Amino acid sequence: MKLATDLVHAGRDDLGALGVHALPIDLSTTYPVTDLATGTASFDALVGGAASAANPIYARLFNPTVARFEQAMAKLEHTEAAVGFASGMAAVSACLLAFAQGREVLAVRPIYGTSDHLLSSGLLGARVRFVEADAIAAAITADTGLVFIETPANPNLDLVDIAAVVRAAGEVPVLVDSTFATPVLQTPADSGAALVLHSATKFLGGHGDVIAGVVACSEAHAQKLRQVRAATGALLHPLAAYLLHRGLPTLKLRVEAAQVSARVLAERLAAHPEVLRVNYPGLGTVKNAHLLGGQLRGPGSLMSFELRGGHAAASACLQALELHTVAVSLGSVDSLIQHPAGLTHRVVAPEVLAAHGIGPGTLRLSVGLEDVEDLWADLQRGLQAAADTIGLDRAA
């Protein structure tokens, strides 16, 4: 089946037998044990990381509403399994605990600010070494537990060649944070990625009302992740799983519509005198832009751009916007704009950000589903305010 069909139908195989049309929500925290032998065997299986068992036992071990969403994500990411978590960071944490505890992680910057912070902090017992993508093969040692990349990267939209990293990593599993792409634009498992991670809070949820994470992977890797999840309790709540699953049928429409507007806005921003630079795969202005059309099937709806007037201009621009929501997060139906150096990437050292082109004048824009001309009118308002700031400074 084609993607549009899978988005509508994946993870719904058992609904016919249940005699229902819409996704059911099971909020049980515990489940009646029919007989002790079955209960004991089921408990052992689920604590060991099995996908399901004759008896669900307890909601930290299994929930059918969550399992349906996970089956859908596995189908969409072309993997055997998927494991849902309470947030994107809970998903990152589970991967570090399952594959890199006491070992080294090789990571390619830039990555999401909190992922960078979590790796750098060593909080979960994994040590990080940040390397360039083309230095991975030489950097691998017997101690390497995981290779961690994000593409397109937050917030400068750089691309990383997944297949090349997988080749360089050899036996070491490669984790790809694919949050910016969604399975509509990229399926990293097709390039050999072992772990495909999403902050489902973003495009998958898409409506700004769910915090969640998911990792799509082999059944063997999923078992380890479920063991960690059962022990640490960073569960995806069934109501959140329901909302995520309910939104999947429109994911392709949302991603593609926002992308059409993003292309227009990226071009207009790039031509504007207040804008020094626009980082957008569709403009060819990001690292490895040649991967667009191959690994990355479309440029997406995220971009970052740098204002000529630096921090003061960025601040004035945000203040003047009336339609865009000034907020962190991304991939929502409404357009969101934020200042990476002051907000999402605050936990990353300024010199590290500067090395990746993120400065005091950089804004990150997540284009939503509003009319593109309304969005442009609002951005022009912001850019005029940015220009006025520089004028005032010069006069003073």
Ligand X SMILES: *Cc1c(COP(=O)(O)O)cnc(C)c1O
- List residues binding ligand X (CB under 6 A): 87-89, 112, 114-115, 150, 154, 177, 179, 199, 201-202, 211, 213
Residue among 193 and 275 whose Cβ is closer to ligand X:
193
- Catalytic residue among 31, 58, 60, 308, which? 60
**Contact predicate 51/219, CB 8 Å:** yes
What's the min distance (Å) between Cβ of 389 and ligand X? 29
Q: Give the three-class secondary structure for 134.
A: helix
Alpha carbon distance 313, 339 (integer Å): 11
Beta strands in 205-253 (DSSP E): 213-217
Tokens of 309: 């007037």
Alpha carbon distance 32, 1 (integer Å): 38
What's the min distance (Å) between Cβ of 388 and ligand X? 32
Residue among 202 and 263 whose Cβ is closer to ligand X:
202
- Catalytic residue among 202, 226, 229, 252, which? 202
388 catalytic, yes or no? Answer: no
Q: Give the three-class secondary structure for 138.
A: helix
Alpha carbon distance 155, 270 (integer Å): 17
112 catalytic, yes or no? Answer: yes
**Contact predicate 85/213, CB 8 Å:** yes
Residue with tokens 């630079």: 277
- Catalytic residue among 6, 116, 158, 177, which? 177
- Catalytic residue among 68, 112, 158, 277, which? 112
Alpha carbon distance 244, 251 (integer Å): 10
Helix, strand, coil percentages in the chain from 3-state DSSP, rounded to 5: 45, 15, 40
As beta bridge partners, residue 127 has 104
Cβ-proximal residue to ligand X, closest one = 88
Q: How far from 195 is each of 186, 224, 248, 314, 396, CA to CA, in Å?
A: 13, 12, 20, 36, 54
What's the min distance (Å) between Cβ of 52 and ligand X? 25
Instruction: Sort 99 into a burial class: Cβ within 10 Å, 0-12 / 13-18 / 19+.
Output: buried
As beta bridge partners, residue 82 has 216
What's the min distance (Å) between Cβ of 336 and ligand X? 11
What's the min distance (Å) between Cβ of 84 and ligand X? 12
Alpha carbon distance 20, 16 (integer Å): 6
Residue among 296 and 383 whose Cβ is closer to ligand X:
296
As beta bridge partners, residue 296 has 292
As beta bridge partners, residue 175 has 148, 195
334 catalytic, yes or no? Answer: no
What's the min distance (Å) between Cβ of 201 and ligand X? 4
User: Rounded to an integer, what is the distance from CA 260 to the centroid of its chain?
Assistant: 20
Residue among 53 and 119 whose Cβ is closer to ligand X:
119
167 catalytic, yes or no? Answer: no
What's the min distance (Å) between Cβ of 13 and ligand X? 27
Alpha carbon distance 320, 97 (integer Å): 44
The residues that are catalytic are: 60, 112, 177, 202
